[in-house]
């Protein structure tokens, strides 16, 4: 999984609670991404960051927030405003947004 | 989102056979990438083909790109049980500067 770690692998939360998913990379990549994957579907972009202290909304940013205080780290917070948060979350990084992305192992979040 | 669409959705083949899957898209692209995902894991990059390239090889993988038809194909030759996975195409376009993924083709290789 190429120098990107995500923790935890499985996460369980009660509805109404915020939860933060961790993503760390040691590839010295400038760009980092968060995707959501639902069963049998492709990846949908939540947020991306091309440089420290800067990030942009992807296609489904509502109910999520991110920060990019360090080059190595791009945590994702799933807030209580996200209506259907149960999903598989994937973090990725790349040297440049046009180039190949390196993915972490993913975090499976279940909210009940 | 300007994503690619894979065809077929699922494919089952015997070990040793070839597997071919296709990706179609609607916008102009800078490059097209193929990724593999084993069940419950992260994606692994396979091949990147630029818009000015027509064919690329990597081991048992062959990717073609036809920009006039806005389509790409991934061929896996002499398949193995370990090739069982989902395969995704992703298009990168300077229209939105994002990598957009299709829904994937699930390949099952039977021993």
The vertex-B75 CA angle with B100 and B79, nearest 5°, equals 120
How much helix, strand and coil, in percent to the nearest 5, is found in chain A?
0, 50, 50
Q: What count of CB pairs under 8 Å joins A to B?
A: 60
What whole-number percentage of chain A has pLDDT above 70? 98
The position carrying tokens 């799933």 is A78
Range list of H helices, B6-51: none
pLDDT digits (tens, 9 = 90+) for A51-99: 999 999 999 999 999 999 999 999 999 999 999 999 999 999 999 888 8
Alpha-carbon gap: A90 to the closest alpha carbon of chain B (Å):
7
pLDDT digits (tens, 9 = 90+) for A5-25: 999 999 999 999 999 999 999
* Residue ranges of chain B whose CB lies within 8 Å of a chain A CB: 1, 3, 30-31, 33, 35, 40-45, 48, 88, 92, 97-104
Instruction: State whether A104 and B1 contact (CB < 8 Å).
Output: no
Of A42, A45, A106, which has the smallest distance from its Cβ to B88's Cβ?
A42
- Find the range with the poorest average confidence among A12-16, B15-19, B47-51, B77-81: A12-16
Q: Which residues pair with B108 in a beta bridge?
A: B12
Of B41, B92, B104, which has the smallest distance from its Cβ to A105's Cβ?
B41
DSSP single-letter state for residue A83: S
* pLDDT averaged over every residue in chain B: 94
| Residue B97 pLDDT | 84
Alpha-carbon gap: A68 to the closest alpha carbon of chain B (Å):
18
Residue A45 to residue A33: CA distance in whole angstroms:
7
B87 near B94, Cβ under 8 Å?
no
């Amino acid at each position: 999984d190429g120098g990107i770690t995500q923790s935890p692998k499985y996460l369980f939360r009660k509805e109404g609670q915020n939860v933060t998913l961790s993503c760390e990379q040691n590839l010295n990549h400038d760009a980092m991404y968060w995707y959501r994957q639902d069963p049998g579907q492709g990846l949908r972009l939540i947020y991306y960051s091309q440089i420290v202290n800067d990030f942009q909304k992807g296609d489904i940013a509502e109910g999520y927030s991110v920060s990019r205080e360090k080059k190595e780290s791009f945590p994702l917070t799933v807030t209580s405003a996200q209506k259907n948060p149960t999903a598989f979350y994937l973090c990725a990084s790349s040297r440049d947004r046009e180039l190949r992305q390196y993915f972490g192992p993913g975090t499976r979040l279940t909210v009940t | 989102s300007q994503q690619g669409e894979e065809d077929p959705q699922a494919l089952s083949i015997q070990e040793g056979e070839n597997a071919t899957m296709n990706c179609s898209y609607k916008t102009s692209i800078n490059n097209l990438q193929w990724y593999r995902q084993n069940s419950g894991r992260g994606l692994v990059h396979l091949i990147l083909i630029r818009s000015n390239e027509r064919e690329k090889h990597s081991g048992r993988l062959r990717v073609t790109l036809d920009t006039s038809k806005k389509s790409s194909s991934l061929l896996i030759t002499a398949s193995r049980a370990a090739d069982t996975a989902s395969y995704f195409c992703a298009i990168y376009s300077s229209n939105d500067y994002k990598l957009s993924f299709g829904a994937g083709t699930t390949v099952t290789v039977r021993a």
